[in-house]
Structure 1
Amino acid sequence: MIRSLALLSATTALSACASLDPYPVDRPVIAPQAYAGDLPPSGVAETWWQGFGDSVLDDLVEQGLAANLDIAIARDRLRAADALLQAERADRLPRLDGAADAAIGIGTSDSDSASIGLLGTFDPDISGRLSAQIRAAAADYAQAEYILADQRRLVAAAIAAQYIEYRRTGAQLELLAQSTELQERTLRIVTLRFEAGLAANLDVRRAAADLAQTRARRGLIEIARAGAANRLAILLGQSPGLFTPPPAPGEQTIPDYAGGPPAGTPADLLRRRADVLAAEAALLRASAIVGAEQADLRPSLTIPASVTLGDGSIGGILDEFIASIGAALDLPLFDGGRRRAEVDAARAEADARFGEYRLTFLEALGEVENALVALDANGQRIDALREAIEQSEAALEQSDALYREGLATLFDVLDAQRQLIASRQSLIDSEAALATSFISFHAAIGAPDGVLR
């Protein structure tokens, strides 16, 4: 018994002195001082989607963050990671189990026997393996937490993007109605001129063909509109086909963006983008696994203990008390290089995780830069299209007046109509693209707006 206690004291000292050389994870990731593109002005909105000033969008995002199934799945996996972390921490505590056995004799020489007792074990972790496993589980938990936050970031952006698409199709349907009315009026004029002998039947057919071509676009727009509504339903955890976004003021237009939270700097992506933080947590886990594999190169110790009551007879369970405590020391001597190989493999995996961490950051940086280019390009395109629409409206008015006077052909009128309708369609698409670029930008910078909770 004295020797056991002495060995226990020695192992406690070994545990205090044991140290592992953690695999370095603080290797620098160099971030540019500023973004290459010009940042949009910041607004007063607390959450970036509020910059659209659309209460319907605000409600849809809040519903999605509460009911989205991808978020629910990530939340369940976070619960699992938390439970596994608690399990790893429990391994640092002593373990105690109960035991009992009994036998009833049948032959003349057999006798009844019984005993009860407690069995315990304790690992003082002199190798450091348990501590490394706890660090790995803690990193798993952090990664699951960041993945949950990243799902919230992605879901908010996806809902906003699909809502803009739904609004785009509404604006396209409104434009289709206006274009159809314009071409119907032209067809009536051409028909009257044909009946009066002032125009050829070819002109009537041309005008009718243009009108039919415009009407044919309705089906494509309705397909895109239904697709946006169905994707919104899935994002909100609802059944596709049964969900219709509620009406919004100005539903036939694309909402303007007034500005959101400050963008920060490229270095802020390392602290604000949840997927970058998740990649960092994966790197920390890989570093901890290196420590766990290194622990196998060191001695390990297990301290078993037991308490037994009983003298072997059923009636004498309380007649005898036996207690014991010992120690089992495992010294790694020779394994053909297996343990060293496992350490090398863990180091290589940690290097790969560092590469993934850098790649995730660079991809996030690329998303921001792409969004900035799209913001600038779409803004310039919208200005040019508005000028084109103004000129096309004037050209149509002039060609229509000249046609009535017989000084221009129907081809001139129809060509002016086509240009005007095409410019109006392109303007709607570009306004939607600009709104989507704002969504992509704020999703890319990982704005600190409450989504990462």
Structure 2
Amino acid sequence: MHAPVPTVAVPDQWSSPPDDSAQNLASYWQALGDPQLDRFVALALANNRNLAQAAARVAQARAGVRASRAAYFPQISGSAGVQRDVGDFANTDPQFSVGADAQWELDLFGQISGGVSASRAELAAAGFGLGDLQRLIVGQVAQTTVSARTLATQLSIARDTLRIQDDNLQIAQWRLQAGLVSSLDVEQARAQRAQTAASIPAIERDLAQAANAISTLIGEAPGSVRMALEQHAAPIPVPPDKVGFGIPATVLRQRPDVRQAEELLLADTARIGIARAQMLPLVQLTGNIGSASSGLNSLFDIVTGGLFAGVSQLIFDGGRARAQLDSARAAAAGSLAAWEQTILQALADVENSDIALTKARERVAQLAIARDAASNAAVLARSQYQAGLIDFQTLLTAENQLLSARNALSASEAERANAFIALEQAVGGGWDVNASDVATGATKGESKQ
């Protein structure tokens, strides 16, 4: 059984050629340099309950392969009994019997082998499904950790800004007492400080929710992740400058969702053969052997048996078999379309993530310049206000610009990190085909011929 050729035209190269640098896709998150992220991913791979469900589906599919292969062998059953008649003229001696029956279906037209092929493809699909879920879970853990680091950074920015605004309020109050300004400056300073203070609880709420989301992903109750993030504070992760990945054909073979869709197509293709075989003759061999006696010592003195070969052929079923064949063909056509759609989506994922990472880097560079300029402007405005050279509104504008610039830079740094994660996911990073559960499903599916 071979994979059909998709009608989707896969390009030879990407629109923007990637770097040639080699990297470990299976553990790409380590390139972000956050030890806590490394720890969270390891815990998620070991304890995530959705991954446990996927691993159970692999085990279920593996059992299905064994069940389908059992049809190659004869079915043998044994029986034994004892009978004793009762009544006035009955023979009171017990009658003992023992026997065995066997039935064997010959796989002349591929009904059994088709079932085995379908079950093996389903096992491979389950293995690749587990790999794809690993890819997605790793990405979720990484992006949620980036979100938590970003919120922690923004919380630090808000608290730093609040301390500066406390100083501004005190300066405005001193200048009011000295008769240098009106109470307008004090009220503006109070309003600015209150707005910043009001933003802190919202950031703390979002940070707690991000930590709880990580807890769910790594299979732990809420609480420990928040503590770990606070004890091991770190800046927003910075991705490497160069990110390399293969040509489109290579990336598609690395994407587990594409491989899963391909295996599901193979399974449905095998079912076409099963449906066709049901319309052809069925050859069965049946046999029996047995013995009966009134005494155990003579039970096997006379052994009788028989062997029968039979052929059955469907003549009329109201069109059911033909309908089942048509249904199998339609299912395979649908699986082919799903496989091609998965290929198209995978190609789009790479292109979109690649351009997103490139543009995020450009934004970070410009916003860093804006942050530095806003910081210098705020320092100058603060000193000039203290000297009475500008009014408080000018200082207020400079302070707000600095706060906005710092938050915009942190958000852009998060976008850059998330774009890197999305790109690594898009090229098939975050799963390992050599992992035990994935290998027993996916790699066995590749060698099923």
TM-score surpassing 0.5? yes
Q: Counterpart in 2 of 1:55? A: 35
Q: Counterpart in 2 of 1:270? A: 252
User: Equivalent pairs: percent with the same residue?
Assistant: 30
| Aligned partner of residue 212 in structure 1, secondary structure | helix
Matched AA of 2:13: A
**CA contact 1:85–1:138 (8 Å) conserved in 2:** yes
Moved more, 99-108 or 248-257: 248-257
| Shift of residue 274, structure 1, vs aligned partner | 0.6
Aligned CA-pair RMSD: 2.3
TM-score by length of 1: 0.90
| Aligned partner of residue 79 in structure 2, secondary structure | strand
| Shift of residue 316, structure 1, vs aligned partner | 4.9
Q: Counterpart in 2 of 1:161? A: 143
**CA contact 1:25–1:287 (8 Å) conserved in 2:** no
Q: Counterpart in 2 of 1:31? A: 10
Does residue 384 of structure 1 match 2:363?
A: no
Does residue 348 of structure 1 match 2:327?
A: no
**CA contact 1:269–1:361 (8 Å) conserved in 2:** no
Q: Counterpart in 2 of 1:67? A: 47
Q: Counterpart in 2 of 1:100? A: 80
Matched AA of 1:334: F
| Shift of residue 449, structure 1, vs aligned partner | 6.7
Q: Counterpart in 2 of 1:18? A: none
Change beyond 3 A, Cα 1:133–1:104: same
**Residues in 2 aligned to 1:248 and 1:358: alpha-carbon distance in whole angstroms:** 45
Query: For each residue in 1:396-438, what CA deviation from the matched residue of structure 2 results, as whole angstroms up to 9, or x when unmatched?
Result: 2333333334332211110110011011011111101110111
**Residues in 2 aligned to 1:395 and 1:389: alpha-carbon distance in whole angstroms:** 10
| Aligned partner of residue 229 in structure 1, secondary structure | helix
Match of 1:289 among 271, 288, 299: 271
Does residue 228 of structure 1 match 2:207?
A: no
**Residues in 2 aligned to 1:77 and 1:246: alpha-carbon distance in whole angstroms:** 33
Change beyond 3 A, Cα 1:63–1:261: farther
Query: For each residue in 1:272-326, what CA deviation from the matched residue of structure 2 results, as whole angstroms up to 9, or x when unmatched?
Result: 0111101001000000000100001110011111110114777752232101110
**CA contact 2:134–2:431 (8 Å) conserved in 1:** no
Does residue 110 of structure 1 match 2:90?
A: yes
| Shift of residue 222, structure 1, vs aligned partner | 1.0
**Residues in 1 aligned to 2:11 and 2:227: alpha-carbon distance in whole angstroms:** 41
Change beyond 3 A, Cα 1:358–1:245: farther
| Aligned partner of residue 216 in structure 1, secondary structure | helix
Matched AA of 1:78: V
Change beyond 3 A, Cα 1:285–1:158: same
Change beyond 3 A, Cα 1:402–1:69: same
Q: Counterpart in 2 of 1:3? A: none
Match of 2:122 among 125, 140, 147: 140
Matched AA of 1:240: P
**CA contact 1:176–1:218 (8 Å) conserved in 2:** yes
Does residue 332 of structure 1 match 2:314?
A: yes
Alignment coverage as a number of residue pairs = 432
| Shift of residue 56, structure 1, vs aligned partner | 2.2
Does residue 415 of structure 1 match 2:397?
A: yes
**CA contact 1:149–1:452 (8 Å) conserved in 2:** no
**Residues in 1 aligned to 2:205 and 2:385: alpha-carbon distance in whole angstroms:** 37
Q: Counterpart in 2 of 1:78? A: 58
Match of 1:150 among 119, 123, 132: 132
Change beyond 3 A, Cα 1:442–1:44: closer
Change beyond 3 A, Cα 1:183–1:147: same
Moved more, 404-413 or 258-267: 258-267
| Shift of residue 34, structure 1, vs aligned partner | 1.9
Q: Structure 1 stretches of 5 or more lacking a match?
A: 1-21
**Residues in 2 aligned to 1:451 and 1:254: alpha-carbon distance in whole angstroms:** 30
**Residues in 2 aligned to 1:248 and 1:365: alpha-carbon distance in whole angstroms:** 39
Matched AA of 2:31: G
**Residues in 1 aligned to 2:29 and 2:242: alpha-carbon distance in whole angstroms:** 7
| Aligned partner of residue 12 in structure 2, secondary structure | coil
Change beyond 3 A, Cα 1:432–1:245: farther
**CA contact 1:301–1:327 (8 Å) conserved in 2:** yes
| Shift of residue 448, structure 1, vs aligned partner | 7.9
**Residues in 1 aligned to 2:354 and 2:430: alpha-carbon distance in whole angstroms:** 19
Change beyond 3 A, Cα 1:445–1:175: same
Moved more, 203-212 or 401-410: 401-410
| Aligned partner of residue 72 in structure 2, secondary structure | coil
TM-score by length of 2: 0.90
